[in-house]
Amino acid sequence: MTTKNAKLKEPRTVSNDYYLKIGATDIFNEDFLADLSSTDDEKKKKAKSHLSERLKETRVRIGTLLKTDNVSFLIGAGASMDAGGFGLASIPLELEKLLHERAVEPGNGEVTDWLVLFYKICSILSDQTFNLRERKAILAEDLTQVHSIPINLEDYLSHLYMWQASMHGLATKITFALARGGNLTVSRNDIDRLISETKRGLTTLADLPVSDKEGALKDHRRLIQKILTRPLNLRRANLFTLNYDTLVEKAADAEGVLLVDGFVGTLRRIFRPESYDVDFYFPAQTTEGRVHRLDRAFHLYKLHGSITWHRCEENWENPYGLYSTFYKQETNDDVLIYPSPLKYGQTLGLPYSELFRHFGSAIAQPQSVLFTIGYGYGDAHVNTLIRQALAIPSFTLIVVDPAPTSDFVKYLMELGDERVWLVTGTKLGSFKHFVEKLLPDLRDEEITAKVIKTYKALSHKTPDENNDTVESADV
């Protein structure tokens, strides 16, 4: 039995490519994984065959989970990386480059003070020295060869908001005595502008896919295709996302799929959360009055907002003061929860509270399954709802992450709970590889099962029975 104070068991290191753990059981044997890179051709061939069989068995098991009544997916930033998305572990190079473009004053080409402040803050928080001119020259080179500033983006924004709050009222400047010596003077105008430009840059970067990575959209399309193979007598699948981008919407458009996303309308789509209770049917080709359920639809919930959402005045027709349209780059009315200490409070306000209420309700239903893909378990308000769902005996959680570092996930590994799956490694744990190798197309699985069943039935017939069949056919 595992005790609460037991040392966390680290994942084995025989292979960083394939790792699948269900409860306390490792699905992929260490020996055959080691043989995948063997110089012995026979061993390598057997290892590949063994791996193929295990992947097939796992797809069958996941297919069973997909057929449960309540299936939800939670998509995080990792699902957008191949399309040009960004993480929060450091300051994205693309964001830094955008700040430089915004900071140049028209006419004289001089850099404004708020960008100088940006590098002062980065130097203080990282305990390194970052020079504006040096970084400008570096950013002009190939970004794939440039190291990003090693500061967590959320920590960076947290300090900006804290300093901004300290100047609430009449103060226009504030001076901080630094722990390592010296002072930092911050003006209210510079801090306001730096926060505004950082948020603006994040919104711009969320317009995905980027120009040279349009092909990554096929992974989102494949996800949607496979979700829609669930039997029509089950509830609609729920896709929750913490991302601002519109990759899911673009993939759904490409597949001709209807999204129930909480907005209704034609010329001006407004937020109406009751629309999540709507479903789609069409009349049958008979006169018996029967209807068929549309198979190309599912529910989408954008828990942290979207680059296509905008604020407006609340009124009787639009009680939430929220509408959705095409992405507009030059706007200050966006509706997003940015990575900052304010995000926990923002989730309690509208429209986010409605969306999180749906999330908590969906995963708390009996016989529920939640796939988390590309989510690093870094948001306490999300983890709390998942932790509550784990108190339900029939709940199943599948964690898909190529290299999980969260204490939350490590604790789940320690528990050895059979309801928790951990899918990781470079060949399984990414969004692309999970959708391609482990998430089944239920229609293909059913066809394969029928073919195998027919083949086994024919192979068990006696020679006389086979001859009788041929003679009857000849007649």
pLDDT tens for each residue of 64-110? 999 999 999 999 999 999 999 988 888 999 999 999 988 876 554 55
Residues 304 and 448 in one domain: no
pLDDT band at 175, cuts 50/70/90? confident
Give this prediction's pTM.
0.85
pLDDT band at 462, cuts 50/70/90? low
More confident residue, 461 or 273: 273
Query: Is 54 part of a structural domain of the chain?
Result: no
Per-residue pLDDT, 424: 92
- Specify the 3-state DSSP secondary structure of 459: helix
Distance CA 336, CA 308 (A): 10
Asked if residue 465 has pLDDT above 90, the reply is no
Residues 456 and 431 in one domain: no
Query: Is 6 part of a structural domain of the chain?
Result: no
Per-residue pLDDT, 342: 59
Name the CA dihedral angle for 449, 450, 453, 457, rounded to a multiple of 10 degrees: -170
Query: Is 15 part of a structural domain of the chain?
Result: no
Task: Count how many domains the chain has.
Answer: 4
- Specify the 3-state DSSP secondary structure of 158: helix
Q: Which of 299, 114, 296, 288 is nearest to 195 (CA)?
A: 114
Residues 254 and 219 in one domain: yes
Residues 200 and 222 in one domain: no
Residues 319 and 426 in one domain: yes
**Residues 16-42, mean pLDDT to the nearest whole number:** 79
Query: Is 272 part of a structural domain of the chain?
Result: yes
The position carrying tokens 């967590």 is 152
Asked if residue 3 has pLDDT above 50, the reply is no
Query: Is 233 part of a structural domain of the chain?
Result: yes
Residues 436 and 451 in one domain: no
- For the chain, what is the mean pLDDT? 83
Residues 322 and 409 in one domain: yes
Q: Which of 379, 259, 279 is nearest to 324 (CA)?
A: 259
More confident residue, 291 or 367: 367
**Residues 120-144, mean pLDDT to the nearest whole number:** 88
Provide CB contacts within 8 A for 159, sequence distance 6+: 121, 125
Query: Is 190 part of a structural domain of the chain?
Result: yes
Query: Is 55 part of a structural domain of the chain?
Result: no
- Domain coverage including residue 469: 443-475
Asked if residue 214 has pLDDT above 60, the reply is yes
pLDDT tens-digit map of 256-275: 999 999 999 888 898 999 98
